[in-house]
Amino acid sequence: MKAYLVLENGKVFEGEYFGARGEVTGEIVFTTGMTGYIETLTDPSYYGQIVLQTFPLIGNYGIISEDFENVNVGVKAYIAKYPCKTPSNFRCEDNIETFLKERGVIGLRGIDTRALTKIIRENGVMNGKIKAEPPVDSDYEEIAKYSVKNPIAAVSAAAAVSLSTVDKSKSDISPAVRRIALMDFGAKQGITNAFLDRNCKVWAFPYNVSAEEIMKIKPHGIMLSNGPGDPADSGNKVIIETLRTLMRTDVPIFGICMGHQLLAIAHGYETRKLKFGHRGANQPVKDTKTGKVYITSQNHGYEVIADSTQIKQFTETGFCSFINVNDGSCEGMDYGNSFSVQFHPEACGGPLDTSFLFDKFLERINVYAERRH
């Protein structure tokens, strides 16, 4: 069935539906991953966005529920040049078209994805609409007005929940069970798994939890998850104030992606929107202390302005710990007992070059725990 992609700048692409049929409007972003499409589809950080895969062949190994980052589909719609109808993999449970159709997610195939990517690279991310008929004037009005509303609230956990029971067989990994409070801004399952693999006990809290509720479990560490939207959005003010209260407790904090950005704002730094963001599994970052370069998985449209001087009196000054090799943007901050990174060290679709950061966090937790006693 024929389908059209209408861009905010007036450009129209003609392709075909796959997955669900209908109309959908969203912000169009591209990701460069050749694999990891399952993790992309189920990543809550893509809430409100139409995701374009730059690699043309998508779906070759099918759909594998064990690899989901969330039980829900994160993307608002999905664009791929050649989605695979007959995947082949011993773990495969279904094909990508059936997966999208069953979940009511619209897919678009057969358009010139290379041309669309170039438009976004040259002009920046923009809104667009997928529909069955050629565009009319009202479509452009709708596209221009579109914005993502309260995305973190839409994807966060509804209530606090314990996600783990301690596995005594893994006691050799960590000599003491550490309690991790996970603030869920749209958390990926990979973050929880990274702590469970290290014999930690994890409690997930909704985005609007109070600092007092978190401290009731006497956490050894606080994890700030990934999530969608603009970190400086007015709807995040309560989160930022909660983080400032938690910072005063001296409990080590580790932030990833949105968590990195919100923690930076709580420390007095500012953020700004990137032209087309960093999305994919081939993003190089450099450790500013050692000069070592790591290949990372990323999914974000905003950056922390690391040279900001607006440090509030109740914070300690941090420093930029990682930079993006391609554009020099900030990819990590270190505040002493707490730190954060813009990329994803838990990336289940790979690469896993920076998974050691979870061990680094536990080392800081151990120092904190020893200091308390």
- For the annotated catalytic residues, the residue numbers are 257, 344, 346
Bridge partners of residue 273, in order along the sequence: 302
Question: Which residues, 6 or more positions from 125, have their beta carbon under 8 angstroms from its beta carbon?
Answer: 27, 28, 29, 275, 276, 277, 301
Q: Which helix (H) or strand (E) is 284 found in, with range?
A: strand 270-287
What's the CA gap between 223 and 357, in Å, rounded?
A: 12
Cis peptide before 351 (omega within 30 of 0): yes
Q: Coil, helix or strand for 20? A: strand
Distance of CA 236 to the CA centre of its chain: 16
In one letter, which amino acid is 313? Q
Bridge partners of residue 127, in order along the sequence: 27
Six token digits for residue 302? 């905003």
Distance of CA 85 to the CA centre of its chain: 28
Please give the DSSP secondary-structure letter assigned to residue 99.
H
Interior CA angle at 34 toward 31 and 38, to 5°? 75
What's the CA gap between 365 and 261, in Å, rounded?
A: 21
What's the CA gap between 187 and 259, in Å, rounded?
A: 10
Nearest to 46 by CA among 69, 67, 18: 69
Alpha carbon distances (Å) from 166 to 174, 202, 214, 254 = 11, 9, 19, 21
Nearest to 24 by CA among 82, 101, 78, 97: 78
